[in-house]
Structure 1
Amino acid sequence: MKTPKLRFGAIGLEPRRNPSSSAVMDNALIIGASGGIGRALGAALTERGVKVTGLTRSGDSLDITNEASVAEVLGRLAGPFDLIFVATGALEINGAEPEKTLKSLEAAAMMDQFAVNCIGPSLVLKHSLALMPRKGRAVFAALSARVGSIGDNAKGGWYSYRTAKAALNQMIHTGAIELARTHRQAICVALHPGTVRTPFTEKYLDRHPAVAASEAAGNLLSVIDGLTPAQSGQFFDWQGKPVAW
């Protein structure tokens, strides 16, 4: 399988303490820190006074679709991290747009979608276990999408993207079960950020209302702040409402 062409960029973030902020975490890791949501999350966390480590493909040679790369790059980190957020994802890969009909479905495009939107975050989860504290609250969150919901699918289409995100949701749910055995206060969730205005989504917005990445980041962090271990393994939207599997 060919390596999908992804677009990431280096990012460096230094924490700035905000005495008025009631930060619930001290140390965060963002995978895909140069994307629209990843960068906004890093900025919001830094504003809170959280120390942020941001990893990218171009800046850190992190290829989430290659396990050797994931193991090597994450293996350099000491941790522990209170938050590990996978902000990677792609609607179009190697020029393949989301399919409108079954006639447009191609094996290579579907494999690329699985590599980026499911396998990549799954590999990060696998190699993040050593970076999460065994005691105390910690959150592993991955960007999913409402279109990955099987129960909330009334329009069809977008076969590869939908299916890859649905598979990611299953990985998060299953991984959370195992994680709870060793990290009793850990929370592992899939999050839908809403429709976010980024270069990757611009051509698909049409008349749909969209929010800036900074607003989406604030919404997601509000959801994360309110999560408890009892909610681990679930799928939430940007308002903190459960999304149907």
Structure 2
Amino acid sequence: MSESNALVIGASQGIGLGFVQHLLQRPHIQTIYATYRSQDSAVGLLTLAAQYPERVSCIAVDITQETQIADCCNQIQSEGVLLYWVINCVGILHEGDLQPEKGLRQLNAEQLTRYFQVNSIGAALWAKHLLPLLKHDHPSIFATISAKIGSIGDNHLGGWYGYRASKAALNMLMRTTSIEYRRRSPQTIVVTLHPGTTDTKLSKPFQRNVPPEKLFSVDRTVTQLLTVLDGLGKEDSGQFFSWDGSLLPW
């Protein structure tokens, strides 16, 4: 395979950092651009970049700020680089006072807005600004980490209103993106991915009821998701895949 370049969005820790580590093992991937929100939470990523200065390029981006997304894409474009892999790993389930709601009485507009800003809107803005970098004659992938809990058809338990709704919105935004990309960037495959429950900071408070065999290490999750991505064809664009390659209901 000829040399290619990748962008991992939200690479400071967890699954995002795992993708950077795995993509470094693929010699044909020349440069890996990796975004992070703050230096304090990106120590592992910045250390990795220092070890591989010729291959890992770190860029600070807050996914809730469109100007920063645009600046990142413009920086990559100014280097004359085309992207073949884009993997968006940004997501929020809890932070500070923001916690998954158990019932309607816990809903408030500010927290719902935060869920949508991070989990839904940011991915669509990336799709908007990434188009020139993905629009070329070679096959490319734009994958976003979603969650099975965002499936409306699979919702039998209720609760977690903001997280569920923001992931459902993410799925719709990416499905719609895939239709436009089919016209404007026909070589690009756009998918959303359910990684399974992974042993990360995001899932830590909720792991108590997860059977050990269903709690994946970051390494296992990334390995499984890369297998899915490696097997994609153009006909798969616009789909929602689980970690084992099966299609999930919307």
TM, length-normalised to structure 2: 0.86
The one-letter code sitting in structure 2 at the alignment partner of 1:132 is L
Q: CA deviation at 1:69?
A: 1.2
Describe the superposition over 1:10-66 as per-residue Cα deviations: whole angstroms up to 9, x where unpaired.
Answer: xxxxxxxxxxxxx79721110111120000011111112223111112253311111
Aligned to 2:243: 238
Aligned to 1:199: 201
Give, in whole Å, the separation in 2 of the partners of 1:116 and 1:93.
Answer: 12
Structure 1, unmatched stretches of 5+, are 1-22
Q: CA deviation at 1:96?
A: 1.2
**Does the 8 Å contact 2:63/2:122 carry over to 1?**
yes
What are the within-5 Å matches in structure 2 for residues 61-140 of structure 1?
Answer: 61-78=60-77, 79-140=81-142
Aligned to 2:26: 48
SS of the counterpart of 1:55? strand
Aligned to 1:150: 152
Structure 2 vs 1, CA of residues 116 and 24 (structure 1 numbering), >3 Å: closer, same or farther? farther
Give, in whole Å, the separation in 2 of the partners of 1:173 and 1:24.
Answer: 29
SS of the counterpart of 1:77? helix
The one-letter code sitting in structure 1 at the alignment partner of 2:129 is H
Give, in whole Å, the separation in 1 of the partners of 2:96 and 2:69.
Answer: 21
**Does the 8 Å contact 1:134/1:182 carry over to 2?**
no
Q: CA deviation at 1:101?
A: 0.8
The one-letter code sitting in structure 2 at the alignment partner of 1:85 is I
Q: Does 1:181 align with 2:180?
A: no
SS of the counterpart of 1:47? coil
Structure 2 vs 1, CA of residues 24 and 189 (structure 1 numbering), >3 Å: closer, same or farther? farther
Give, in whole Å, the separation in 1 of the partners of 2:111 and 2:137.
Answer: 41
Task: Give the 4+ runs in structure 1 shifted more than 2 A.
Answer: 23-26, 58-61
Q: CA deviation at 1:133?
A: 3.7
SS of the counterpart of 2:99? coil
Q: 2:222 aligns with which of 217, 222, 227?
A: 217
Q: CA RMSD for the aligned pairs?
A: 1.4
After TM superposition, the structure 1 stretch with the greater mean CA deviation from structure 2, 157-166 or 131-140, is: 131-140
Count of residue correspondences: 223
Q: Does 1:171 align with 2:173?
A: yes
SS of the counterpart of 1:203? helix
Q: CA deviation at 1:94?
A: 4.1
Give, in whole Å, the separation in 1 of the partners of 2:185 and 2:67.
Answer: 25
**Does the 8 Å contact 1:35/1:87 carry over to 2?**
no
Give, in whole Å, the separation in 2 of the partners of 1:88 and 1:24.
Answer: 28
